[in-house]
Amino acid sequence: MSELRKDPIVSRWVIIATERDARPHHFKSSAETPSDTKSEGCPFCEGNEHMTPPEIYAVRPGGGKANGPGWLVRVIPNKYPVLRIEGDVARRGIGMCDMAEGVGAHEVIVETPRHDQRLSDLPEEHIELVLGAFRERIIELDRDDRLRYAMVFKNQGIRAGASLPHAHSQLIATPVTPITVKEELQSSKKYYQEKERCIFCDYLKQEMKAGERLVMDDEHFAVIAPFASRFPFEMWVIPKKHQSDYHKISPQELTSLSKILKMILIKLRENLENPDYNMLLHTAPLRTPRSGYWTTIEVDYHWHFEIFPRLTRVAGFEWGTGFYINPTPPERVREFLMGE
């Protein structure tokens, strides 16, 4: 079982994946780029369903049996999970150090049955199914009161941390609230306490008015290159209507989000030579049955996606300081991507 460990000096949690126990020779990277519709050894390809643990969720428009072909989107447990759903969250101390058992969930959202498609290649209606799968899985995991947060993320390409080339996203649910999430929650709560307004709503209003960092928008969403962008071409996709929880997204918003997302990903691909990228969903924590504690979260937090191509390397200075060095001003992103 994995262990969650907390650094005794800074409040940083680490997952030590003891089961993997990776020895030196394990650290090699492969650079496969898919070209065939199906790959013999790929567990995410249609027809290879037996290579994965039994599925948790799938979209099969034509019907058909679980764990067989005929699906468009398929969610499975990660075969090598960093956290497992079985067991209790036993927290304990080792001298000055804290640890907890690695309880949680680690799921893979396979975005397409085809090996040669990337998320940006899929039709908008298909992307909508992927985004819908995120929603369904969060709703389901919210029922488990051992879990505090569900992080949905996508690593596209080796530089972004992907280990398999077949298009997929992941969901990791953790028994502690991650520090990065906590900082964002605390900050937005504090702002609300002072002003009785959502910090994201105010920020969005400011950026819509200023205009120079607005990359695109439609009725439901705005894409912003954030003022303090950590990475070149970092973008946040923010719903215009205030909403704390991604899983409460409306059907109209889901359709709109699919269009916006496809557009951004295509623009990145066209203008930056098909870059590897990360995409993260920032949504409110799971809170069944902790509703008492989070009394204001529905008014003070605002879900959004963060997307950043992996163009720069995070180096010593960034690790040591928490500062990021970004050579591309966010004011240039719209021009570079949209040609405007």
Query: Given candidates 44, 71, 134, 203, which one binds a copy of itself under the rule CB under 8 A?
Result: 203
Residue 287 sits in the site that holds a copy of itself (CB under 8 A):
no
Binding region for a copy of itself (CB under 8 A) out of 108-116, 200-208, 242-250, 251-259: 200-208
Which lies closer to a copy of itself via its Cβ, residue 76 or residue 311? 311
Q: Given 106, 115, 126, 168, which residue is catalytic? A: 168
What is the H or E stretch that residue 110 is in? strand 105-110
Residues paired with 57 in a beta bridge: 75
Binding region for a copy of itself (CB under 8 A) out of 122-130, 131-139, 268-276, 290-298: 268-276
CA 248 to chain centre: 17
Q: What is the four-CA torsion angle of 174, 176, 179, 184, rounded to 10 degrees?
A: 80
**DSSP character at residue 53:** S
Query: Which residues are CB-neighbours of 201 under 8 A, at least 6 positions away?
Result: 242, 302
Size of interface with a copy of itself, in residues (CB under 8 A): 92
Residue 154, judged by CB atoms within 10 A of its CB (0-12, 13-18, 19+), counts as buried
Rounded to the nearest whole angstrom, what is the least distance from the CB of residue 317 to a copy of itself in the complex? Answer: 5
| Cβ-contact 268, 233 below 8 angstroms | yes
Which lies closer to a copy of itself via its Cβ, residue 60 or residue 84? 84
The whole-angstrom separation of Cα 210 and Cα 202 is: 12
Binding region for a copy of itself (CB under 8 A) out of 30-38, 41-49, 116-124, 270-278: 270-278
Rounded to the nearest whole angstrom, what is the least distance from the CB of residue 214 to a copy of itself in the complex? Answer: 14
The whole-angstrom separation of Cα 183 and Cα 10 is: 14
- How distant, in Å, are the alpha carbons of 44, 72, 91, 94 from that of 6? 34, 39, 11, 10
Does 168 participate in catalysis according to the annotation?
Answer: yes
Binding region for a copy of itself (CB under 8 A) out of 30-38, 107-115, 116-124, 226-234: 226-234
Which lies closer to a copy of itself via its Cβ, residue 170 or residue 255? 170
- Residues of span 149-168 touching a copy of itself by CB under 8 A: 149, 151, 153-155, 158-162
Query: Given candidates 135, 197, 242, 332, which one binds a copy of itself under the rule CB under 8 A?
Result: 332
Residue numbers annotated as active site: 168
